[in-house]
Structure 1
Amino acid sequence: MFLQGVELLQAYAPNRVYGLLVHFYGWPAGATRRRIPRIRRRLPKVPRIAWTRQILPGKPVRLPRYSDTALRLTAISVQRRGSLAGPPQGRKAREDFAELQLIRKASKGAEDLPARQRFALWRSRPGRSHLQLQPLRALLNCSDWNTYLNAVGFPLLVLGSLEGALTPLHQVEAPGSTTVDDQTGIVRPSDLDEFYEAVEAHLRQHGRTPLRRLGMLVALPPGRNLKLKKLLMERRDKFILDLYGGVEINHSRRWRWSSQGMVTKRRRATAMTALPHSPL
């Protein structure tokens, strides 16, 4: 029975059977023990580029703009104050400290930003040993447009490497191109003309649509302080907003209608109570 099981195992796993026979019967005479080669997993090589910057107090340095790329900070060194560094930044109690900050936007100094927009990556009191390179471990995303590194107190020399696809952001998201949201799959128009065409195409296919639902199905074009109702009111010759918050196509192409407050449940209840009750 044991030999039958060995024959079955030998058909599928000869290396395991060989070790099993050696365990029971010992090594055969004159045989040399051989090691089964191990299969090593080869990880894909990640492109890396060396990155070194000298950051002066009050002069933030923007992170490199790359898509699918991370900036790995490995070392930092405190530089001596010189004429190019300017006056030390920060309060008097913090002048004896050197600090590397990650801020969200550029300004004359990190003190102008609120605390929630400043994050200290490294902070120490400089001495003779700090003139040499000190280890630093940080991994920063390079896909954000408004992220800066700022030095406080002393000039800092930061060393690291860029790791990833190293694709510039202006090649991935070119201005004026139509983008697609990965989470919702909605195509975002690049200008107002494409937005109005998308709204009109949706209304012709689905008919009258509530304003809130239309805002979920049709994305707004890029811009500042854009609201769906305001954009639709600018083209009254194309669209009509009724009292119940619905949007439909203006087939008459006239501007004579004016916007009014939407009818809500509260307004309906007020109108019903205002009506005189007829005696039974």
Structure 2
Amino acid sequence: MAAPGVQAGRRWHRPGRPGGCLSGASAVRRAQLHRVSFTGSPRAAALSQYKVAALNPPALKAIAPWEGFTDAYRDFFTPGGVVENGFARVWLLLTGRVARLRTDLAAERRKHPLRDAWWESLTPRLSRITVPILVCASFSDSNLHSVGSMRAFQRVGSAERHAYTHRGPKWASFYGAEALRTQLAFFDRYLRERDVPPPPRLRLEIRDRLDHVVQVRDEREWPLARTDWRRLRLGEGGALSDAEGGAGSVTSDLRREAAVFDHRFDEDTERPDDAATTRGHHRRRGPAALRRNREVVARRAGPVRGLLRLRA
């Protein structure tokens, strides 16, 4: 499996390997002897896979972008229209020091506060990707990796598309036994052309608390077609309600605090939303069980649909 590529002129090369092009005339000759795939995590290692795959180089047979984003503006730098100046600034600083980029991303970001043609040029053309794809969407840090990864799962042109979801630690999950088995089986089938079953279309992990998996299901689509969507409205006293509310306001110190809104379900509810995939089992007993009406903190500030707690 090759390392994620970086652009060099009009051909794609492996980092540190100037002669290892994947497209162009020499790639056609190489394709007769070599079959190439990508895997990598997260962000740039995943984004570069989308960019290369959209070019359809003949030697590329499969990709496995693990916990990346697909739209730098919407998924990372300005999620929900709000400028991200925390981790994004740290990432830009480190990237500027260690990555071999021709563009000063921090400077260009200041020049382009709104999503325009420059941001569009950074965004991979997902519909042009036709190779088999295994994409990981982590629900652990949804501001970064969930939305963009699911967007890829929904929009790529690949007939063979698969998604692996989890709520565990990033690197521990990537190198964990189950994830490794899934990746190896995927590459065995599509890269090595071995006669092995395809991965599930969508591996969905269900938890009833942070560290306890109660079920792993095979699903076919995202969002789930059987989801019962409910619109929740911001209310007084930090409540989320089905009822219409009056005008109001909330203030908080963005550096130290957050505006928090809560909603309590009246029955056992599974929440397959952008912030988490969590289920409450009110029939279970004991202090470790997530019982009916217990609050769960969601880390993502929107959308409101189905969240038990919204932090803004």
The alignment's TM-score, normalised by the length of structure 1, stands at 0.21
Q: Which has the higher contact order (CA 8 A, sep 6+)?
A: 1
The structure whose Rg is larger is 1
Tell me which protein shows more strand as a share of its residues: 1
